[in-house]
Amino acid sequence: MSKINYKTILLKKNKEPISCLTAYSKPLACILDGRVDIILVGDSLGTTLYGMKNTRSVNLKMMMNHGKAVVSNTKTSMTIIDMPYKTYRNKKEALKNALDILSYTKADFIKIETDSKNIDIVRHLSNNKIKIVAHIGVTPQKFSDFSKIRSVGKNLNEIENLVNLAKKLENAGAKLIVLECMGMKASKKITNILKIPTIGIGASKYCDGQVLVIDDILNLNSNTNKPKFIKTYTNIEKNIIRAVKNFTKEVKNKKFPSKKQSY
């Protein structure tokens, strides 16, 4: 299978839904590669891998190291890497950090959480030939407490503001736009108006594509409170627990290692 490029993604708009999942390691990158259109190395690794309460403590080194592990083991799918909190506060900082991430990881896209205040940063990065994915609606880096997150784009004023922001980001050079925790009317209107693809997470079937965190669809941790938009497709946690119990039982009963596993 040949490498998916941006033109391929662009041609899927209004024709074939785009699939996207997160990955933070070589094993998952290898599993996802070619099975989804896009792999996102999200700053959600802060909460899923490191047990952080939010994504604000995620730093560049984390994103670069996990990003390199994923991209170097991805041959077909396109790759996106999140820029962490407070790494794109102005044009100079954003450009330096984006170039550092891209030169180290060789990812296809950089994603930044966007609002009306950093449209110029999107334009600046785009003008410097960096492929930018914008992210609007609920932007998690704004929250220190995820329990306070609520969906947006429910009333006419919010919808109008989101549509206008999306159009400005497209005009600024964004190649894709993530719509998070957004009302159906808003996501549908934005998707219909924009020429670039929209990727939804809790933003309804009306987006051009969908993204979820891999840990959530696998149900790696049933103890976490999952948002309404999450759907689990299997229960890896149960399988891991079963395997661990079997291993422990065999160790205790001196059945492992057997001669087969011994030198």
Asked if the structure places residue 122 within a domain, the reply is: yes
Q: How far apart, in whole angstroms, are the C-alpha atoms of residue 136 and residue 166?
A: 8
β strands within 35-192, DSSP E: 38-41, 78-82, 109-113, 132-137, 176-180
Residues 55 and 148 in one domain: yes
Asked if the structure places residue 60 within a domain, the reply is: yes
Structural domain containing residue 21: 6-232
The H or E element spanning position 70 is helix 60-71
Catalytic residue among 16, 93, 160, 180: 180
Residues 246 and 226 in one domain: no
Asked if the structure places residue 1 within a domain, the reply is: no
pTM over 0.95: yes
Q: How far apart, in whole angstroms, are the C-alpha atoms of residue 244 and residue 253?
A: 14
Residues 90 and 219 in one domain: yes
Task: Tell me if residue 180 is catalytic.
Answer: yes
- Asked whether the beta carbons of 235 and 220 are under 8 A apart, the reply is no
The string of pLDDT tens digits covering residues 7-60 is: 999 999 999 999 999 999 999 999 999 999 999 999 999 999 999 999 999 999
Residues 243 and 113 in one domain: no
Q: How far apart, in whole angstroms, are the C-alpha atoms of residue 81 and residue 60?
A: 10
Residues 60 and 155 in one domain: yes
Residues 126 and 43 in one domain: yes
Residues 24 and 129 in one domain: yes
The string of pLDDT tens digits covering residues 145-178 is: 999 999 999 999 999 999 999 999 999 999 999 9
DSSP category for residue 135: E
Residues 156 and 178 in one domain: yes
Residues 21 and 119 in one domain: yes
Of 28, 30, 36, which is closest to residue 45 (Cα–Cα)? 28
